[in-house]
Structure 1
């Protein structure tokens, strides 16, 4: 079954209430026995003596959505999932705020856990999303994914 391309980008941080609402919507789905959630949070890293205050995320959105759609299709073929939700922030996200939310659900826990982990790794490796680290002194540098 071919799925439609889903929007994954959110302007600004991903709010805790949005995450809670996403989770609560699944309580009526009684065939689901396991969920896996990954939340990426901006760290206040120290780099060369300077502290990261925020990360400014940008993306080549059209290409990122196409690539995410292919990842989605691959994951649904590989794992028996009921649901998959992926959201990534754009704009300036402060240290301590959530910038990535991946949520998978399946009848059993293992497919949800494995699929969630694979989605995060592929998203980081394949999507044209960039982060500029903004330091407390207002200088900046492009972030390297690790």
Structure 2
């Protein structure tokens, strides 16, 4: 693992729909792929203690986070017969309705792509040191660890 170049999984600001489309289009020539699975995380306008979330400011220990993502990627590639795997997470302030998390897996058959994508999302949410500070419409804030943001 130490000799491998770490991928850059972080994007400053929201993940644009164009980024997602470009990633999909980049796989059109890979005709040995039969299935893709995509997860898109979007910032919700949750109501917490009577306040509405306007945005989330994401931060991470990027070096540690990239190392952990690389370990997870390696484990997922070993477990599933994948052709491609892409992981992107936003840093900075992301407004409600904007994309903040993009996972894309590809394989010869759909089942491996779907299962790998689901496991990848769950492991990243549970294991990678990414934090989100919810910014409310009145500009007050509330810190949450990334994995807790998705819990009801």
Aligned to 1:18: 19
Aligned to 1:73: 74
TM-score by length of 1: 0.97
Counterpart CA distance in 1 for 2:8 and 2:134 is: 24
Aligned to 1:59: 60
Cα deviation, 1:3-50, whole Å, max 9, x if unaligned, reads 532110000000000100000010100000000000000000001111
Aligned to 1:32: 33
Aligned to 2:100: 99
Q: Secondary structure of 2:7's match?
A: coil
Aligned to 2:86: 85
- Is the 1:3–1:73 contact (alpha carbons within 8 Å) kept by the matching residues of 2? no
Q: Which runs of 5+ in 1 are unaligned?
A: none
Q: Secondary structure of 2:31's match?
A: coil
Counterpart CA distance in 2 for 1:89 and 1:65 is: 13
TM-score by length of 2: 0.93
Cα deviation, 1:74-132, whole Å, max 9, x if unaligned, reads 00000000000000000000000000000000000000000000000000010000000
Q: Which runs of 5+ in 2 are unaligned?
A: none
- Within 5 Å, give how 1:41-56 maps onto structure 2: 41-56=42-57
Q: Which runs of 4+ in 1 moved over 6 A?
A: none
Number of aligned residue pairs: give it. 146
Root-mean-square deviation over aligned CA pairs: 1.3
Aligned to 2:127: 126
